[in-house]
Amino acid sequence: METKKKRPRVVVGLSGGVDSAVSVIKLQEAGYDVEGMFMRNWDSSINNDILGNPHTNDSICPQEIDYMDAVKTAEELGIKLTRIDFVEEYWQRVFSYFLDEYRANRTPNPDILCNKEIKFKAFLDKAMEMGFDYIAMGHYARVVHEPEIQLLRGLDRNKDQSYFLCQLTKEQLSKALFPIGEMTKPEVRALAKKYNLSIAEKKDSTGVCFIGERNFKQFLENYLPAKKGKIMTLDGEVVGEHDGIMYYTIGQRKGLGLGGAGNAWFVLGKDAEKNILLVGRGENQEYLFSNWAIVSKINWIGPEFVGELCCLAKFRYRGIDNKVVIKWLDKDKMEVRYEEKAKAVTPGQEAVFYDGERLLGGGTIDEVYMNEEKRRY
């Protein structure tokens, strides 16, 4: 008698949004044995107690609303939903680093670290412990398992989220599925409507990973008291006062409190020692541009190479593809050269490397130069 083949078990990170819900549908249609898991990673009262500052302006986290939406989705799709807490892991592995980077006057990308340490580590470890074969997320990206592990851009270039997955290892990717990677956003919403899901028209989340949408500067002030200082031009003219240089990023236009006739003001750099924010008028100020950078903490999942490699690089999520030449300086550090100058390449942000559709790796931007002049970013 022929035994029936066991269906692979997959647990979906069910966030309460439409992308993860449709991921469940796609897996069910493909014949997987599917369950859901809701990750609770932020708790204002707990995190404030850890900080030793229980009385802050921090508002109630919207995660409870997302959880109720996840419960409703699980009911509608007939799957089991487990709720699990990674509050301590998120604080120690993600948020503490996030704060340290801001203290160093760098602009970090917490979503990348969140994917590396929470969604594809803490969550993955728990899933394997529970006996699942794979985890699945509602990211717009694609993974190829055979004949070798490859991470590809999502088919919908407007929604592609491969940038945020650049720190995942081949081992992590070997256990990951991205069911909507071949879909466009309109197709995702259409499928959700076809299945009469109550969250079919739910607005996409745009806030920091698991913290949600809020006034970000006010939120940071709860954790990082800052010192006011001068806003100056590169020529030394004082034009205003800033609330703390850690709150500003290179190329920023809004929130400077500067007006007057002429072109808009933009953040050009920072003088951390003197607590000065450097600004200039016009979005194409020469000081905003660079032509090479040092990138460290490299996670490389592409083919190995020696010498130089020509490829593409994104220096921020919504940035354009830049033609670059890269070479290793150390086991986890690269020099990145780009003949066509790039704008607002910012320390603390991620440089992510591609060969066409394939993601090769990524790392943190450390230093930025124009020819031999180091930018005061």
- Give every CB contact of residue 138 below 8 A, 6+ residues apart in sequence: 12, 13, 15, 17, 18, 19, 20, 21, 22, 23, 178, 179, 180
Q: Is residue 40 a contact partner of residue 47, using CB atoms and an 8 Å limit?
A: no
- How far apart (Å, rounded) are the C-alpha atoms in residues 38 and 276? 43
| E strands present in the chain | 9-13, 33-40, 81-85, 134-136, 141-144, 150-153, 176-177, 229-233, 238-242, 265-271, 276-281, 289-300, 308-314, 322-330, 333-343, 350-355, 358-370, 373-374
Q: Which of 114, 166, 310, 311 is catalytic?
A: 114
Side chain identity, residue 144: V
In the structure encoding, which two tokens stand for residue 143, read together? 């993974």
Q: State residue 232 phi and psi, 5-degree precision.
A: -130, 155
61 part of the active site? no
CA distance 72 to 81: 10
Alpha carbon of 319 to those of 17, 158, 160, 279: distances in Å? 25, 11, 12, 21
> Active-site residue among 61, 166, 209, 311?
209
Q: Are 256 and 265 in contact (CB under 8 A)?
A: yes
With beta carbons less than 8 A apart as the criterion, state whether 13 and 20 touch: yes
| Residues 311 and 301: beta-carbon distance below 8 Å | no
- Structural contact between residues 200 and 18, judged by C-beta atoms closer than 8 angstroms: yes
Active site residues: 114, 209
